[in-house]
């Protein structure tokens, strides 16, 4: 038996084994206790949900309906050809600025020139014949006069007298016919000259050449339809043609404010008013679209034909007003607001047991605003005296959306509550009057001031702590597993 085996039977070896066992147990228990303590302390230190604080500040609120559109010149003219021939010369290019009366193109005019020469020769030939016709007429008149004298002296026959009368009438008719032929030939000459002038195409108006449809050397056939050679447009004023969906057309009105942006315009906006809505829709893939038109000044030339425009129709807006996040508001005209309002003290009845003014019956819809202060009521009275007040029936929620200048809707004034946080972090509930509302912000008419702190939501601290606890537990078990 070696020394190691001998020690195992001695008290010294047994003591060492027990000491190692107890040391391991102590370490495991200590680790478990530490983990349990850390776990419990984390649970005790778990923070409650924290309020999300927002500041009431001056800003702008806007509600819009979006649509896609394209830019076209407000005024343009298609320049075509009225004669047949080969386009010999095109004297302008796309983008050139032209003046009214400027020569734009020339068409081969040899046929028109030949017609003019033929008409002139025909007139000269007719004019040469007219002298002979007049001489024949003079002779017929002389014979008729002689026959009349002889007939009076009973020295001629009736036949000779009748022949003289007939010859005179024939000579007169022949002269008149020739004169009319000359007039007809002169009119034909003017027509041929006009056709010759049409071979030289001039600008009918001032503007910019925005497109060219034909090139030099192309044969033009204008017998049935005048072909378009180029287009001249006035780019100082542009028209936006926007496609409005059937779902939005009921909210779009003539004269309402509208603005648009372009793909290359960056953040720049162009503002205008809706001029017209075409009554006949365009149906694309079973989608009904109505065309809205509005004009925009383009004196700087930054807008071009067929540009894509992202159009925004402004249905309601408010500029430089107090704004508060919508998440901070509890509207009293909603079911939840009604329940909250019902929990407030009842409004005392007026004379004769009738509900007091503002009790919700013919007053403010959505529950009695019993929590309104005298100051707020006085503000409402002042607004009513100045013509900006609220209707007698329906109150804040029941005010029908009216129309005002610019085609915007006048939103209903609504009563809401908001929780205001003071410098010490104490929260108090306050009633406010809300005007224009968007999806993220609302206009505060009264009840708050710039710089006030309000509760705009809740920070879900519990969820964050649960995630942290899960992480801590995993770390604890990993630590415990390291000692096993």
User: Is 59 a domain residue?
Assistant: no
Tell me the CATH number at 113. 1.20.120
Phi, psi of 363 (to 5 degrees): -110, -115
Question: Does the pLDDT at position 38 exceed 90?
Answer: no
Q: Are 310 and 367 members of one domain?
A: no
Domain housing 377: 329-349+357-451
Phi, psi of 28 (to 5 degrees): -65, -45
User: Cα angle vertex 36, ends 30, 40, to 5°?
Assistant: 145
Q: For 45-97, how does the pLDDT look when each residue is reduced to its tens digit (9 = 90+)?
A: 445 667 888 999 999 999 999 999 999 999 989 998 888 888 989 999 988 99
β-pairing verdict for 409-410 and 402-403: antiparallel
User: Is 474 a domain residue?
Assistant: no
Q: Are 236 and 312 members of one domain?
A: yes
Q: Are 342 and 297 members of one domain?
A: no
The pLDDT > 70 percentage for the chain reads: 68
Q: Are 344 and 355 in contact (CB under 8 A)?
A: no
Q: Are 109 and 199 in contact (CB under 8 A)?
A: yes
Q: Are 313 and 333 members of one domain?
A: no
Q: What is the pLDDT of residue 405?
A: 43
User: Is 230 a domain residue?
Assistant: yes
Question: Does the pLDDT at position 170 exceed 60?
Answer: yes
State the total domains in the chain. 3
- What is the maximal distance between C-alpha atoms in the chain? 198
Nearest partner of 62 among 250, 254, 328, 321, judged by Cα: 321
Residue 300 CA neighbour count, 13 Å, CB half: 5
Q: For 387-429, how does the pLDDT look when each residue is reduced to its tens digit (9 = 90+)?
A: 554 433 333 333 333 334 455 555 567 899 999 998 888 899 9
**DSSP at 19:** H
Q: Are 200 and 90 members of one domain?
A: yes
Radius of gyration, CA atoms only, the chain: 49
User: Is 478 a domain residue?
Assistant: no
Integer Cα distance of 404 and 419 in angstroms = 33
Residue 80 tokens, joined: 């075509």
Q: Are 186 and 243 members of one domain?
A: no
User: Is residue 415 classed exposed, middle or buried when 0-12, 13-18 and 19+ CB atoms within 10 A define those classes?
Assistant: buried
């Amino acid at each position: 038996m070696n020394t190691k085996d001998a020690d195992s039977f001695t008290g010294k070896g047994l003591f060492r084994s027990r000491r190692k066992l107890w040391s391991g147990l102590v370490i495991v228990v200590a680790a478990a206790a530490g983990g349990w303590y850390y776990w419990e302390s984390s649970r005790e230190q778990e923070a409650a949900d924290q309020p999300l604080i927002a500041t009431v500040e001056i800003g702008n609120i806007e509600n819009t309906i979006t649509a896609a559109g394209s830019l076209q010149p407000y005024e343009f003219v298609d320049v075509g050809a009225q004669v047949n021939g080969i386009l010999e010369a095109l004297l302008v290019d796309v983008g050139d600025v032209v003046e009214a009366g400027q020569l734009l193109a020339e068409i081969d005019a040899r046929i028109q020139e030949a017609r003019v020469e033929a008409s002139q020769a025909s007139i000269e030939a007719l004019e040469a014949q007219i002298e002979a016709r007049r001489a024949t007429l003079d002779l017929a008149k002389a014979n008729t006069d002689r026959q009349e004298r002889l007939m009076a002296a009973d020295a001629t026959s009736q036949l000779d007298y009748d022949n003289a009368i007939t010859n005179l009438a024939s000579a007169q008719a022949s002269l008149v016919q020739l004169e009319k032929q000359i007039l007809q030939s002169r009119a034909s000459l003017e027509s041929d000259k006009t056709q010759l002038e049409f071979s030289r195409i001039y600008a009918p108006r001032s503007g910019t050449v925005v497109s060219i449809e034909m090139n030099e050397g192309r044969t033009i056939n204008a017998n049935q339809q005048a072909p378009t050679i180029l287009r001249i447009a006035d780019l100082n004023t542009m028209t936006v043609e926007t496609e409005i969906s059937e779902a939005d057309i009921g909210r779009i009105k003539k004269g309402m404010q509208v603005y648009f942006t372009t793909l290359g315009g960056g953040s720049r906006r162009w503002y205008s008013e809706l001029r017209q809505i075409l009554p006949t829709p365009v149906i694309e893939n079973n989608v009904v679209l109505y065309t809205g038109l509005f004009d925009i000044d383009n004196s700087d030339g930054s807008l071009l034909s067929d540009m894509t425009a992202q159009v925004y129709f402004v249905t309601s807006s408010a500029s430089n007003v107090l704004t508060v996040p919508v998440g901070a508001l509890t509207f009293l005209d909603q079911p939840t607001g009604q329940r909250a309002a019902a929990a407030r003290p009842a409004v005392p009845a007026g004379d004769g047991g009738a509900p007091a003014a503002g009790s919700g019956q013919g007053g403010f819809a959505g529950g009695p605003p019993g929590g309104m202060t005298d100051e707020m009521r006085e503000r409402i009275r002042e607004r009513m005296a100045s013509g900006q007040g609220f209707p007698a029936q329906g109150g804040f929620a029941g005010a029908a959306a009216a129309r005002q200048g610019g085609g915007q809707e006048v939103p209903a004034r609504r009563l809401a509550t908001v929780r205001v946080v003071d410098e010490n972090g104490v929260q108090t509930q306050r009633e406010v009057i809300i005007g224009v509302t968007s999806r993220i912000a609302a206009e505060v008419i009264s009840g708050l001031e710039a710089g006030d702190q309000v509760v705009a939501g809740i920070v879900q601290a519990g969820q964050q702590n649960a995630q942290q606890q899960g992480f801590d537990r995993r770390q604890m078990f990993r630590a415990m597993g390291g000692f096993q």
